[in-house]
Structure 1
Amino acid sequence: MKIQRTIYWDKLAEIKELKQFFEEDYRRFKKLIENHIEELEKFSDEALDKFAKLRVLEVTNGCTQWAFRRGDRECLSVEQTRECMNLVMGFMKRTELYFPSEGKIEFNDEQKVLIQAGRSLYKNAFKDNIKKSEREYYAASTAQFIVYDRERTKRAMTLVKQDYETLFSLYYIERGQKYIASYLEGFE
């Protein structure tokens, strides 16, 4: 559903992960984000709620995985890190979510296509190290935060904290929230 919003492109261009793409070609990267925004705006509010929950889980899991790979002092144990990864990757592979306080959340076929495309883009960008895919991934990710909007994303962050803090730990829940916050400051 298309809504009016103000996007602070210069603020988004300062985000560490986005900076190089804006510097390389500001207009093309901005247009790429806008294209993803248009694609996402076709989905219902109910679908966007589900996508936001998945996105917050992905970010939180990403924080735990990167910390483990880097050997951060605060990283979770091998077993905990694997459990976090298996939970989120399982949700993505089955294209369904489960929250203890809400139960099973399913996606329709059109929504599943978007999730599978996101998984493929992530794999190409970060497993196969394809630079063009990384650019596309960050454009899509930025568009997601913009379309999901601040309130929906905050509700999803509250739910993930409530239902999965014991798995991810408060530290990584907060790390994920901090990562997301920089994007949420880029629009209203």
Structure 2
Amino acid sequence: MELLKTIHWEKLAEIKELKNHFSHDFDSFQNLIVDYITIWSNLDKENLDKLAILRALEVTNGCTQWAYRRGDKDCLPIEKTRKCMSVSMSSIKNKRIYLKSETITFPPEIARLIDEGRSLYIQAFKNNLPEKEREFYALSTAQFLVYGRERMNRAFDIIQENFGDVFTEFFINKGRRYVQPYLEAIGEL
């Protein structure tokens, strides 16, 4: 698998959300990421394109939600924060993203992967299970690496074009910046 030859693992190990998982057991966490890369690398281009858009939507929503919870001075008002959550969660739950010019849908096998990711997120962050947090971050990292720079940049552009009025350019750019360190860990062959 070509992607594995280009990953700078030491760069990934410096990312704030991943640092503890790598420092606890580098090889085990790396292997978990590789396992997810193997699964996600087998998906076709069309589904990867659609999943990257969903991931960009999720990340951008996460940025708006955390800003509100922390009480950041630039957070969105509660009504707009709720709208962001509604757009993101309805896309995840319904396996549909309503763009201005089309509706993105996901076939059953991809819907199952989306549900697995959502379940991991809930177990990790709602039920506070540390081993599930580790697994969630391995999955999330694998997704960003498989999607790659170009696809993620396109996905955020699509979010800006279709949901800029909801999430705002400010938070869409925060989402881009959140993903950037993962993408910078992808080198050249």
Q: TM-score range by the shorter chain?
A: over 0.9
Runs of 4+ in structure 1 off by over 6 angstroms are none
Unaligned runs of 5+ in 1: none
TM-score, length-scaled by structure 2: 0.96
Q: In the alignment, does 2:156 pair up with 1:157?
A: yes
Residue 148 of structure 1: how far off its partner (Å): 0.7
| Partner of residue 110, structure 2 | 111
Letter in 2 for 1:145: F
Letter in 2 for 1:29: F
Distance in 1, Cα, partners of 2:134 & 2:110? 22
Q: For each residue in 1:153-185, what CA deviation from the matched residue of structure 2 results, as whole angstroms up to 9, or x when unmatched? A: 111011111211111111111110100111110
Distance in 2, Cα, partners of 1:165 & 1:182? 23
SS in 2 for 1:72: coil
| Partner of residue 184, structure 2 | 185
Letter in 2 for 1:67: A
| Partner of residue 69, structure 2 | 69
Distance in 2, Cα, partners of 1:76 & 1:3? 41
| Partner of residue 58, structure 1 | 58
| Partner of residue 146, structure 2 | 147
SS in 1 for 2:103: strand
Residue 94 of structure 1: how far off its partner (Å): 0.4
Q: For each residue in 1:5-57, what CA deviation from the matched residue of structure 2 results, as whole angstroms up to 9, or x when unmatched? A: 50000000000000000000000000000000001012100010011000000
Distance in 1, Cα, partners of 2:2 & 2:9? 17
| Partner of residue 27, structure 1 | 27
| Partner of residue 43, structure 2 | 43
Distance in 2, Cα, partners of 1:164 & 1:52? 15
| Partner of residue 97, structure 2 | 97
Distance in 2, Cα, partners of 1:179 & 1:110? 28
Q: For each residue in 1:104-158, what CA deviation from the matched residue of structure 2 results, as whole angstroms up to 9, or x when unmatched? A: 0111010000000011010001111110110000000000011011111111011
Letter in 2 for 1:44: D
| Partner of residue 17, structure 2 | 17
| Partner of residue 122, structure 1 | 121
Distance in 2, Cα, partners of 1:43 & 1:78? 37
Aligned residues: 186
Unaligned runs of 5+ in 2: none
SS in 2 for 1:151: helix
Aligned-residue Cα RMSD (Å) equals 1.0
Letter in 2 for 1:94: N
SS in 2 for 1:149: helix
Q: In the alignment, does 2:115 pair up with 1:88?
A: no
TM-score, length-scaled by structure 1: 0.96
Letter in 2 for 1:156: A
SS in 2 for 1:97: strand
Residue 84 of structure 1: how far off its partner (Å): 0.3
Residue 3 of structure 1: how far off its partner (Å): 4.2
